[in-house]
A and B are shown apart, each in its own frame.
Chain A
Amino acid sequence: MTMLQDRPTNTKLISKVPDGALVDKWDNFKANAKLVNPSNKRKFKVIVVGTGLAGASAAASLAELGYRVDAFTFHDSPRRAHSIAAQGGINAAKNYQGDGDSVSRLFTDTIKGGDFRSREGNVYRLAQVSVNIIDQMVAQGVPFARDYGGLLDNRSFGGAQVSRTFYARGQTGQQLLLGAYQQLSRQIGLGGVRLFNRCELVDIVVIDGRAAGIVTRDLLTGELASHAAHAVVLATGGYGNAYYLSTNAMNCNVTAAWRAHQRGAYFANPCYTQIHPTCIPQADATQSKLTLMSESLRNDGRVWVPKNFDENRAAHEIPEQDRDYFLERLYPAYGNLAPRDISSRAAKRLVDKGLGVGPLKNGVYLDFAEAIGRLGRPVVEERYGNLFEMYERIAGENPYDQPMRIYPATHYTMGGLWVDYELQTTIPGLYAAGEANFSDHGTNRLGASALMQGLADGYFVLPYTISNGLAPLLNKTVPGTDHPEFKRVETEAKVRFQGYLNVRGTRSPDYFHRELGKLIWDYCGMERDRNGLERALTEIPALYSEFKKDLRVTGTGEGINQTLEKAGRVDDFFQLGTLMCKDALTREESAGGHFRVEYQTEEGEAVRDDENFCHVAAWEWTGDENNATRHEEQLSFETVQLATRSYK
């Protein structure tokens, strides 16, 4: 629906990873980066879209440095961003437990966990700055869990054999986000940041090949407005809601990233989506979202299914010999802490076989009886109390007395806007941070690493790389909102929103979202194959044309209209869904969260094809969502040897 103009052409995928030994790259970058002198910083305006962990930390840090920052969120307050819901924890290579952790071990775990599909340089930097994040957050008053000596406590998470995860009960994301939000609020109070809340980015304006600003829609009035800046940061989160049912908050959407894509930013690895093994199974058809039970539960909970197909005893009546602790059986070295993709598929296979538990036979057990026996109920309560309560509220069952029922659900998206080492997209001046970019997790993110990456990007990477990008612009004029291109993009947005109102069909945006989500889940979910993906690529466009003909949005474009907001978001999910399936179809290998049934060992493990697919796929918009152009960024592994992942 968007016109194709001012799209930079022939953009090359240059990763800009600095030269030098892996351990020196980031220091080399910082040593050579251009700086903006303190008194000149206020001459620059930076727009930060999104005030989750990545956006709030970036906006606050940039304002502290002296840049003028405009921050945008569609939420009523920055404190509501989806980051708030993260439960389990945040990784950092502090080695406070003295159990053999180090920056290089966190680096290796992340590369290996991502199944060798991420950039070594970026990942090493992430591991390096991880330690600064914990210092920063503690200084800000984040009440992390502590031991009786008053020092910080850690737990372990899937895909790691050390305890490097910092946590604040089951509310780590909440406490980190409140920390970043408070730091941002301080800057708002001081006038360093102007906050635009309940204000949604609806397009990006590119002038002469450079990001010049954004167009927003005020969700309370429906008014469209233009904002110009020297640089634009998108920290707008992931696109897991393409599946309709996911653990993401209801309003998470892909619009910002998708608009950037349509204006020339390449979209990388859209098919890399993460299915989280421990969510509460769907209960009925009215279900609007799925709830995650933190992975940290797998530290003490044991995952099992009954061995017998016709099992109908209650869980605690099933004797040990009739239980299959399948993760412990299949992956003895990691057991219940096997990585997410592997654990999810193992559960799916057993449920598909008919060994599922619960009224709809759509789950597996996560059992704490052994932990309660070993540690006592108070310790278990201390560690997981609020998660148990949450479970009971939703499922109506008490996990102290009977095992939880869990099943995999869409949780996180590793794919996103392609960025170079400086987190700059293929549109100069446009940066992407946090879950919105594709950077550090390859085909599978390790637990507790998203919070780490979001805060690394916002606190410790962007402030350096943005200065490097802004310095050459000193005393040059950049286009203002009076430039005709802003008006043109505003008009396009206006036409688009009026378009949704004008269809006057019979089906709500939610109806289409649900149907689309089912297609993407069935064909591009936990397992994919050529046939299914090819079907998806005819069924999604067919549903999309129905959307364009039969959508119904009631109300008007003025004033708040949540149905209209939803229509715009679903429109973008349709185009993204098509690209996800195309990406999955063209990646003819299995790696991490991308599991193509055609490429597996006899034991059902993923088979990578390093010869042909050791690259990032970055898609260029061509004006037709069915015909994007695929580009490749080759990945090379100099430090970690390419090897088959094994958690056995």
Chain B
Amino acid sequence: MTHLVSNLTLKVWRQNGPADKGKFETHVIESITDEASFLEMLDVLNERLIGENKEAIVFDHDCREGICGTCSLMINGQAHGPQRGSTTCQLHMRSFKDDDTIVIEPWRANAFPIIKDLMVDRAAFDRIVESGGFITSPTGGAPDANLIPVPKPVADAAMDAAACIGCGACVAACPNSAANLFVGAKLTHLNLLPQGQAERYKRAEAMVDTMDEHFGSCTNHGECSAACPKEISLDVIALMNKDYRSAKFKNRKQLSRK
């Protein structure tokens, strides 16, 4: 049955644009049903703010079922809040108890500038994908789909990595704001598959180099994987490093041949 959670104190980050210094604003939620999702709790607060003639709190969200990767909140210092393996939109108020104080902040990373309040700009992820996160296969030229069998364990491992939703929790959780889990996941997905072999090393090099332009470097804290709503394994970073090293080696060999 439904229960109520009462007397929650929210400390919400408000920042009026990228140049603003920003500050915490305190709101009290007298009570809310524990069936409500975290974002529905913010909806209720926003309705109230509009009622008081104030501006609603800006935050990103869309699917509200943990798959689009749009929602992005730091809740009590944890990316996507206290529930492991899930996104902010999947967090429900049953995870909180009466009289809790909840601190709500945006992702904080140099590569993700704050747009307003809790909304950040994650376009750097798109730039990395544009640099090489694909298999070149123009429309129309593909062979029959069953021509190349893919061993099930390979397909499954590729799928595990491909589950990444691009939310950026890994970057937000990392003390260095590194994006290795995100990039490693995409590289593992494409580099494991037979279809991805032709561009394997070029892809690794391009994506890692673009990543380095935007993000900090990995010092193996593992916070990224712990925060990942899809629980992507740290193994993807190992595979990325291996392919990147091979790429550099191969390219050197090619250079020396010239």
Q: A interface vs B, CB < 8 Å?
A: 57, 60-61, 64, 75-82, 84-85, 94, 96, 132, 134-141, 143-152, 168-169, 171, 173-175, 178, 181-183, 185-186, 188-189, 195, 197, 220, 249-251, 283-284, 286-289, 291-292, 359, 390, 393-394, 396, 459-460, 463, 506, 508, 510-511, 552, 554-555, 559-563
Contact = CB atoms under 8 A, between A and B. Distances in A.
B145 A140 contact: no
Bin the interface of chain B by size.
35 or more
Given A136-B139, A560-B116, A85 B68 contact: yes
B46 to A, nearest CB: 8
A393 B86 contact: yes
A76 B137 CA distance: 25
Contacts of A178: 162
A96 B146 CA distance: 9
B130 interface: yes
Contact of A77 (B49, B116, B126): B126
B255 interface: no
Contacts of B65: 85, 289, 291-292, 390
Kindly name the residue among A508, A510, A561 whose own CB sees the greatest number of chain B CB atoms within 10 A: A508
Contacts of A289: 64-65
B131 interface: yes
B126 A182 contact: no
Interface in B17-36: 17, 32-33, 35-36
Interface in B77-91: 83, 86, 90
Contacts of A552: 50, 53
B131 A554 contact: no
Interface stretch (B99-107, B152-160, B215-223, B243-251): B152-160
Given A77-B126, A554-B50, 12 more contacts: A139-B195, A171-B67, A185-B129, A188-B126, A284-B35, A289-B65, A291-B65, A292-B65, A554-B49, A554-B54, A560-B115, A562-B56
B60 A76 contact: yes
5 contacts: A84-B69, A136-B142, A140-B134, A150-B150, A185-B129
B62 A80 contact: yes
Nearest to B137: A139
Contact of B130 (A150, A188, A287, A560): A188
A141 B149 CA distance: 13
Q: Which of B44, B56, B63 has the most CB of A within 10 A?
A: B63
Contact of A80 (B33, B50, B70): B70
B67 A84 contact: yes
Nearest to A219: B115
Given A140-B134, A286-B32, A288-B64, A135 B44 contact: no
B212 interface: no
A140 B137 contact: yes
A79 B65 CA distance: 15
Most buried by B among A80, A136, A359: A80
Contacts of B46: 508, 563
A195 B127 CA distance: 11
Nearest to A463: B139
Contacts of B155: 143-146, 150
A195 B51 CA distance: 37
Given A77-B123, A96-B146, A555-B56, A143 B90 contact: no
Given A139-B195, A143-B162, A286 B44 contact: yes
Contact of B43 (A64, A132, A510): A510
Given A286-B40, A508-B47, A134 B139 contact: no
Contacts of B256: none
Contact of B166 (A79, A138, A188, A394): A79
Contact of B66 (A61, A81, A390): A390
Contacts of A393: 66, 83, 86, 90, 92
B58 interface: yes
A75 B70 contact: yes
Complex A-B, nearest 10 residue pairs according to Cβ-Cβ distance, in ascending order: A150-B149, A189-B130, A182-B134, A139-B142, A135-B142, A143-B159, A138-B145, A139-B137, A61-B139, A283-B35
B55 A554 contact: yes
Contact of A183 (B50, B115, B134): B134
Given A94-B145, A288-B43, A186 B62 contact: no
Mostly, the B contact residues are loop
B189 A143 contact: yes
B105 to A, nearest CB: 18
B209 interface: no
A508 B116 contact: no
Contacts of A78: 126
Contact of B152 (A141, A150, A390): A150
Tell which of A144, A197, A286 has the most Cβ of chain B within 10 Å. Answer: A286
B16 to A, nearest CB: 8
A151 B148 CA distance: 8
Contacts of B60: 76
A305 B65 CA distance: 27
A393 B90 CA distance: 7
B68 A141 contact: no
B191 to A, nearest CB: 10
A145 B63 CA distance: 24
A135 B54 contact: no
B166 A288 contact: no
B149 A149 contact: yes
B150 to A, nearest CB: 5
A562 B1 contact: no
Contacts of A135: 142-145
B58 to A, nearest CB: 6
Given A250-B62, A508-B50, A394 B136 contact: no
B187 to A, nearest CB: 11
A284 B195 contact: no
Given A138-B145, A139-B195, A141-B195, A249 B189 contact: no
A359 B2 CA distance: 9
A465 to B, nearest CB: 14
A5 to B, nearest CB: 34
Nearest to B196: A141
Interface in B211-251: none
B208 interface: no
B122 interface: yes
A141 B55 contact: no
A559 B114 CA distance: 13
A169 B159 contact: yes
A92 B214 CA distance: 41
A139 B137 CA distance: 6
A561 B69 CA distance: 21
Contacts of B119: 560
Contacts of A283: 2, 33, 35
Given A139-B143, A508-B47, A559 B17 contact: yes
Contact of B190 (A85, A141, A508, A510): A141
A463 B141 CA distance: 14
Nearest to A166: B145
A608 B67 CA distance: 39
A141 B44 contact: no
A613 to B, nearest CB: 36
B18 to A, nearest CB: 10
Contact of B137 (A80, A183, A189, A195): A183
